[in-house]
Structures are given as C-alpha cells and as structure tokens.
Structure 1
Amino acid sequence: MRDLVVAGGGPVGLAAALYAARAGLDVVVREPRPGVLDKACGEGLMPGAVDRLALLGVRPTGHRLAGIRYLDARHEVEAPFRHGTGLGVRRTTLHAALRAAVSAAGVEVTGPAVHEVTQHGDHLVVDGEPARHLIAADGLHSPVRRLVGLESVPVRLRRYGQRVHLDLPPWTPYVEVHWGGCAEAYVTPVAPDQVGLAILTTQRRPFLDLLAEFPVLAARVAGRPTSRVRGAGPLRQRVRRRVSGRVLLVGDAAGYVDALTGDGLAVGLAQAEAAVAAVAAGRPADYETVARRLGRRHDLLTLGLVSATRAPVVRRRIVGAAHRLPGLFGAAVDQLARPV
C-alpha cells in the first residue's frame, strides 16, 4: 500500500511529491496530462517562493524581480523587496524544473486523473488502489475537492485572468501593475527578451479589448507578436475545510482568493510542506489548523484589496494613495514578499 497519492502534477503537486520523497514516503503523482504544463498566471515568484524552491533543489531560469510597481494614468509608485529578490519565470520553465527534480527523486508521475475516492478508516481507496493518504493539488476547480465534499458555495463576484507573452526586452526589474477602471494589467519580466502580460478583471471580454483600457501600455507593446491567449477563472474559490479524513487540499485546490497580490505559489508551497508533514506524522487532521494559519496573511491582504477596489472611487484612487503613502505601500509589499 502506498503512503501517499498526489492528485495533480502542477507546481504545488510536484513540490508535495518532493517533500514526500524527502520524508521517505512511497508517493505517486496522478496527472493525466503528459509533458510540461502551461497555465494562465502572472509568472512572478515572490522571494519567499524562490527560497522555498531553492531548498527543494529547484532553481529555474528567469528574470530577477526587484519589487512591485503600481501605475495609473497620473501616478506611479514602487516598493522594492526588502528581503531577497523575486523571479519572473515562464510557467513552462518552472514546471520543467520541478518535473526534472521529481524524476531525479525517483517519483512516478502517471495518469489518469483521480476519479474515485472512498475512505475506510485507516486507509482510503483511490480508483481501486489502496493508499494511506491523498493530497489534492488538482487546481482551481479541483475534482477531488468535489469528490470528498469540501466544495463550498460559489461567490457572486467573479474575476477572470488572461495572459500572453511578448517578445520584448523588459524595461524594468519590477512587476508592473497597471490599474484601470475595470481591470489590472500585470507586466512581468520572464527572460532577457520576453515579458508576460496578464490582465485580471470581472469582465469576460477579448484580451485586446481589455488591453485598450491601458492606452500607455497598449502603445508600448503595439506591434509585438504575442503568444496564444490563455485564460483562467472564475478565480475566487471557497472551501468548507481543507481536510476530510485522509484527504488534504493544497494550493489552488485548498481555496483561492485572487491573483492580485501574486503570492499564491508561495502559500501553496508552504501548504505542500505542511500537508506532507502531517501525513508523515500520521496526523492528517493537524493540517487544517496549520493551513489556516499559513493562508491567513495572504487571504486578509488579498481579499481586503479586492473588496475595497470593487468601489470605483477606491479603484481610481488606489495608486494615488500608494504614491502619497509610500511607506504603507512598501510595508504591504514586504508582508506579501516575506516567507510564509
């Protein structure tokens, strides 16, 4: 009987497998999609996420990130990271580095996806095969979360993300967040000759229509070839709990607020480590309290910012307020960049 099945072979699932292998657990990753996986995301790693990956022996190539810059039509303000540097890295590059580390650790990654889970007290059965524990890292719309009854009611406010890449040398080492009337646009350096451009909004409109909301940015990238548009959403996902018997939720599967603050991967990596520790100790229920603590700072800051900027008057003034109070803006960025 295996000690652990990890459902989902994205970055957090692969990290969970690496933590499990280091703990001496017999682990398998169930991922139906072969090869390197891509996903719509901002692709900026906070310093805490970079440090956690390095401790796992994973050091993907990318572009150094010095901090966060907010911009609107009248103001701009930037806050450097106070503790370490971030990394802009293509999602495919990050995934390839993690897959290589998992392969070197001797962990099997195989399909199909998890379709059936039944619990039997001292073990569970995953698609007919017994195992001691299951960690679900199968994404924003986690099928395992639904299978074990941890899905909560959806929220009314729905936000969506779209992302492209442009063959364009980065003009700054900062992640730029351009604030518009109905959306935010993120520019992240990911290579010496490439930037990622992501837009978050409540409106389901074509990418170029949304980009037109940012005329200065649109003019800067005009005429540059772009990759295909990838989308994700609705972003906000609620969960009833993060543990059901011997099933533990990590990463986006464990509930998601928004991509606005950019520290979701750091939280997911911390959750993966904590979940594996609970499994290794034979106390999966302990993970619930730890997961809640790990996500508290991220959830409060992100939900607060998303909720406040729903009001048009606040959205129009957010960058101006940060410009007038750079110390407060810097402190908020520091909180998000700190290790989880």
Structure 2
Amino acid sequence: MPTLRTDTDVLVVGGGPVGLAAAIECRRAGLDVVVVEPRDGAVDKACGEGLMPGALALLRSWDVEPDGHVLAGISYRQGRRRADHRFRGPAGRGVRRTTLHAALAERAADLDAHVLPGRVTALRTRPDGAVAATVTRGAGQVGAPVPEEVTARWLLACDGLHSPVRRMLGLEETAGPDRRRRFGLRRHYRLPPWGDMVEVHWSPTAEAYVTPVADDLVGVAVLGPRGTDLDAVLADLPELTARLDGAPHDGPVRGAGPLRQRTRRRSLGPVRLVGDASGYVDALTGEGLRVGFAQARAAVATLDDPEAYERAWRAATRDYRVLTSGLVLAATSPLRRAVVPAAQGLPRVYGSVVERLAR
C-alpha cells in the first residue's frame, strides 16, 4: 500500500487542550496546521480542572469561553486551620476537562485546523530543514494500519507528560531516583458546589483539591507519593468527607504520573516541546494549563528562532518552576506540617504567591 503524503506549515503532535491552543494560535497567525491525535472526541484525564485568571484570559483571546463555575480564589486547609485568598482581579473558572477540550476543538475546527487521527511512529529532519513525521492511522483497528508522511516546516510536540516525541529526540533529562516523585488522582462527585474557591486540604501525606466545575458537579483531585489512594486520603479529611458523604460518583478515578519530568532543551531544529512535554514540576500550584497556553503562544511567535523560544519558555515558566519546586520541597519534608500555618500567619505573603501564580 503506498504511503499517503501531507504537507503543512506546522505539525502539532497531541490534540489535547495545549495542542489545540497551539493549533488555534497557528491559524490566527495565518499558518496551515495539522494536529495528530489518536483519540476521538473530548479526551478526559486526571486534572485539577481549575483555570486560573491568566488561563481564562488567554482562552478569551482565542474566542474560547468554556462553561464552568466561578473560582474566586484559593483556600488552604488543615484541620481547623485555613488560609483564604480571593483573587484581587478577575476570577478564574472551574471547567471540566472534557468541556474545555470540546470548546477548544470547536474553535480549532472553526479556524480550519486539520485533525489527523493517528500516532507519530517515526520522526526525522530533512536536509532542507523541514521535519517529516510518519503518522500511523488505524493502529489497533481491523485491517493493516495506513502510514502517512506529514512534512512540515515546524513541529510542536504537545503530546503530554510522557511525550513520545521528546523521547524520540532524546531530549529527556534522566536523573536518579527521586523520593519526591508524585502522582495525581481525580474523581467527580455529583452534588452542588458549596463554595467558589479551590480548596486545598492537606492530609498527613497528600493534598486533596476540591474544584467546582459546574452547578451540580465537584472535582476532587489528590496529589501524593506512589501508592496514594484517593479514598484513603479522604478518610483523613473529616471536613471534606462530610461534604462528599452520599454524593454519587460521576465517572471513574483517573490517574497520572509520575508528575516531575525534566528536559535538556525545549527546541531542536524545527521541533519545539510545548506544555507538559517540555518539562513539568508538579500540579501543586494548579497552573499547568496557564503555563501550557503561554508556551503555545510563545512557540508560534518564535518558530524561526529556537533560542528565542528557549528564552520565552524560561520566562513563561519561571515563577511556576521556582514557587512550585519550593512548595513541593516543603510538602515532601518535615516542613509539610508548617505550610498551612505559615500561609495563615503570613496572609500577605500567601496572597502575593497566589496572585503571582494566577496571573
């Protein structure tokens, strides 16, 4: 069977929220774009589902306005202790992952971004500087998979935490065992939200994030070490357990991890790593999508200059990397018990950190 061929300006690998945001940005810049994604429809995954004000502003700049529930701030809770900070500026929004994905997919389709169902199974750079990817369509289905070669001037790898493109290009930074390797779990509960803030409940070993995502739906995400069990964490949080008591589950528990991923570089020739594929610290500060959207915008703005993208990537992720790394260090050490008391006792400092991460 002959190989099919497609030429485009930009090939986006990964059709999740960040990949679709990159495709939208490409089309707004007048570039042809092909998005390769093996899964059909709106894809669900473990996610805190809270859009910080900065993420919501970026979505609106792309004319994307997903339905959800207002998020007015962040609340840290540990037993009877609590530290609340309401955003000084515009609110954020809790949005179910599938709702966000569907809204971005609709906007990308409106802008004529082409989605190619399949997986990138091979990648090479051509002598003319373009990138050629072999996309296998129909893998796992009845009949032989159909290969297609997609040639593009640039490739944006938006293929997630465990990016195959990053691995193919040897851009992963390998490290020894890390005692701070953490994992995430998420479940939805069918009940009306009881507040308008993201609640972060600190158990002895993990954090439980409560995010209202609709008028009748609450998401609970848990972050902790390998082996963390969502129900076991909730059992250590009586305030939260009482709120959720009797509420039916809406869908299964979904997991992700290990969360920490490191990269040697974010660009190689015509290839850029974007979003979680470019490296990830932790979900503890809840701003992964804001950072990913900012990287998508920066990648399209610097397609002709790999070093400019490296600089833009560092600028877009600096606060996230520094503040999240520090908080994870505290959360995985004896200092864990002091995090919420410190936030409660230093409200101006806590508020400044929240505002910096939310913008």
**1:114 counterpart (114, 120, 128):** 120
Question: What is the DSSP-based 3-state SS (H/G/I as helix, E as strand, rest coil) of the residue aligned with 1:330?
Answer: helix
Query: How many residue pairs were aligned?
Result: 335
Amino acid at match of 1:95: H
Q: Which residue of 2 aligns with 1:53?
A: 59
1:123 to 130, 133, 141: 130
Shift of 1:320: 1.0
Counterpart of 1:222 in structure 2: which amino acid?
D
Are 1:245 and 1:285, in contact at CA under 8 Å, matched by a contact in 2? no
**1:185 alignment partner AA:** A
Q: Which of 284, 296, 299 is matched with 2:306 structurally?
A: 284
Whether 1:76 and 2:82 are equivalent positions in the alignment is: yes
Alignment of 1:170 onto 2:176: no
CA offsets, 1:49-71, max 9 Å, x none?
00000000000000000000000
Question: What amino acid does structure 2 have at the position aligned with 1:11?
Answer: P
| Deviations 1:116-141, CA, capped at 9 Å, x for gaps | 11112421111133211100000000
> In structure 1, the residue corresponding to 2:306 is in which secondary structure?
coil
Q: Using a 3 Å threshold, how does the CA distance of structure 1 residues 24 and 103 change in structure 2: closer, same or farther? A: same
Per the TM alignment, residue 300 of structure 1 is displaced from its structure 2 partner at its CA by: 0.2
- Name the structure 1 match of 2:315: 293
| Separation of aligned partners in 2, 1:285 and 1:248 | 11
Report the equivalent of 2:47: 41
Q: What does residue 163 of structure 2 align with?
A: 142
Shift of 1:234: 0.3
CA offsets per residue over residues 189-216 of structure 1, 9 Å max, x none? 1111111001000131432122212122
CA contact (8 A) 1:162 1:230 kept: yes
Deviations 1:28-63 (A, max 9, x none): 000010111111000000000000000000000000
> Which SS does the other structure have where 1:303 is aligned?
helix
SS of the residue corresponding to residue 255 of structure 2 reads strand
Task: Provide the identity percentage.
Answer: 53
Of 299, 310, 331 in structure 1, the residue corresponding to residue 332 of structure 2 is: 310
| Distance (whole Å) between structure 2 residues aligned to residue 288 and residue 271 of structure 1 | 10
Instruction: Give the CA deviation at 1:113.
Output: 1.4
Conserved? CA contact 1:38–1:92, under 8 Å? yes
- CA RMSD of superposed structures (Å): 1.1
With structure 1 as the length reference, what TM-score do the two structures score?
0.96
Q: Compute the TM-score of the two structures, normalised by the length of structure 2.
A: 0.91
**Structure 1 partner of 2:274:** 250
* Correspondence 1:321 to 2:342: yes
Q: Tell me the distance in 2 between the aligned counterparts of 1:301 and 1:186.
A: 18
Equivalent position of 1:86 in the other structure: 92
| Secondary structure of 1:76 counterpart | strand
**Offset from partner CA, 1:170-226 (integer Å, 9 cap, x none):** 111000000111000000011111110010001314321222121221122122111
SS at match of 2:118: coil
- Pairing partner for 2:262 from 238, 255, 259: 238
CA-to-aligned-CA distance 1:253-298 (integer Å, 9 cap, x gap): 010000000111111101001101112xx22342111101111111
- How far apart in 2 are the matches of 1:141 and 1:203? 17
Q: Is the 2:330–2:339 contact (alpha carbons within 8 Å) kept by the matching residues of 1?
A: no
Deviates more, 1:55-64 or 1:149-158: 149-158
Amino acid at match of 1:37: V
Partner residue in 1 for 2:144: none
Query: How many angstroms apart in 2 are the aligned matches of 1:197 and 1:205?
Result: 14
CA distance in 1, matches of 2:24, 2:247: 39
Q: How much has 1:336 moved relative to structure 2?
A: 0.6
1:263 and 2:284 equivalent?
no
**In 1, Cα distance between equivalents of 2:220 and 2:230:** 10
Could you say which residue in structure 1 is the equivalent of 2:181? 158
Report runs of 4+ in structure 1 exceeding 3 Å deviation: none
In structure 1, give the amino acid aligned to 2:309. Answer: Y
Mean Cα deviation higher: 117-126 or 62-71: 117-126
Q: Could you say what secondary structure the match of 2:310 adopts?
A: helix
Query: Which range is displaced more, 173-182 or 220-229?
Result: 220-229
Residue 214 (structure 2) aligned to one of 164, 184, 191: 191
Query: Which residue does the alignment assign to 2:142?
Result: none
Task: Write the distance in 2 (CA, Å) between the matches of 1:284 and 1:120.
Answer: 17
Q: Specify every segment of 5 or more residues in structure 2 that has no aligned partner in the other structure, as ranges.
A: 1-6, 135-148
DSSP-derived class of the 1:115 partner: strand
| Correspondence for 2:243 among 220, 224, 227 | 220
Q: Is the 8 A contact 1:252 1:268 kept in 2?
A: yes
Show structure 1 runs of 5+ residues with no match: none
Contact 1:182 1:203 in 2 (8 A): no
